[in-house]
Amino acid sequence: MKLPFRKKNRAQLPGFGLTLGLSLTYMTLLIFIPLSALVLYAAKISFPEFLDIVFNERTAAAFKVSFVSSFLAAFFNFFAGLIIAWVLTRYRFWGKKIIDALIDLPFAIPTAVAGISLAVIFSSNGIIGAFLEKFGISIAYSRGGIVVALIFIGFPFVVRTVQPVIEELNKELEEAASSLGANYYQIFARVIFPSLFPALVTGFALAFARGLGEYGSIIFISSNMPYESEIVPLLIVKQLLQFNYEGASAIGVSLLVCAFIMLLCINLLQNFMKKGRAK
């Protein structure tokens, strides 16, 4: 008896052509077209004028402040996010769910509210600021305030990127390493950390890129002084208020290119690491 004709097995997600078309349409309308409009607007000026805007002293100082502050904040979150994710995943304690919910608070509240709150806390009359003033440390209205604001808005990226990886770690490998005589630090350095490093790099890149484009939380805790504590997004806004749309577009395109190159390098590094581990 012949079996009825059966169609070939298809992918679990139906309609590859349809889903691909919807994805490309979504990306085109919400990402490609707005970014292309920014590039086309910046293309109205000549290339020498573009270079003059991007590489003048004030713009270079703003880029330095943004990049250095974003890097320091992401570097801090690289370690702090790992510790927080590890504690939330591996330990049980009272209030764990509350703390886990608070991790996403920077995503939920407006960045302006975060900036005002941080400025009040770290000012010379604030709870933390008054304590730090005794040691001659001033956070609010300085570059330190920028780093603090970027740490606040960036640490959820690292925690939420690393946390699922920690949950999926094979504890049998840790037990096997322990049975072979490895101590806790050796197990972490040779078994756990290599598995977490790609996720940590991803979280670092996301926090760094988020910091480059942050505006709302910084303007309230920073002095916003040109050449000292002025960030690139604030410089763009100032150019727009002066109706210098070409200058604002040129600075925006340069910031966009820098962020894209950074994320591309991170992705290439991750692929290289995955291939190395596969071998």
Residue 80 has a CB neighbour count (10 Å cut-off) of 14
1 within domain boundaries: no
Residue 247 lies in a domain: yes
d(CA 242, CA 232): 15
Residue 14 lies in a domain: no
* Contact (CB, 8 A) for 208 and 70: yes
CATH number of the domain at 256, please.
1.10.3720.10
| pLDDT per residue as tens digits for the range 167-196 | 888 778 877 877 877 788 888 888 888 888
In the prediction, which pLDDT does 70 show? Answer: 93
pLDDT tens for the chain, residues 1 to 279: 455 545 555 555 556 677 778 888 888 888 888 888 888 888 888 888 888 988 899 999 999 999 999 999 999 999 999 999 999 988 888 888 898 888 988 888 888 888 888 888 988 888 888 888 888 888 888 888 899 999 999 989 999 999 999 888 877 887 787 787 778 888 888 888 888 888 898 899 889 988 988 888 898 888 888 888 889 999 999 998 888 888 888 998 988 888 888 878 777 877 776 666 666
Q: What is the pLDDT of residue 274?
A: 66
Range of the domain at 139: 45-278
Number of domain units in the chain: 1
- With respect to residue 37, please indicate whether it lies within any of the assigned structural domains: no
Residue 202, domain member (yes or no): yes
Check: CB of residue 103 under 8 Å from CB of residue 159: yes
Asked whether residue 10 is assigned to any structural domain, the reply reads: no
Q: Is the pTM above the cut of 0.95?
A: no
pLDDT tens-digit map of 56-77: 999 999 999 999 999 999 999 9
C-alpha separations of 37 from 42, 43, 54, 90, 263 in Å: 9, 10, 19, 47, 21
In a domain, 24, yes or no: no
Residue with token string 């509350």: 98
In-domain check, residue 178: yes
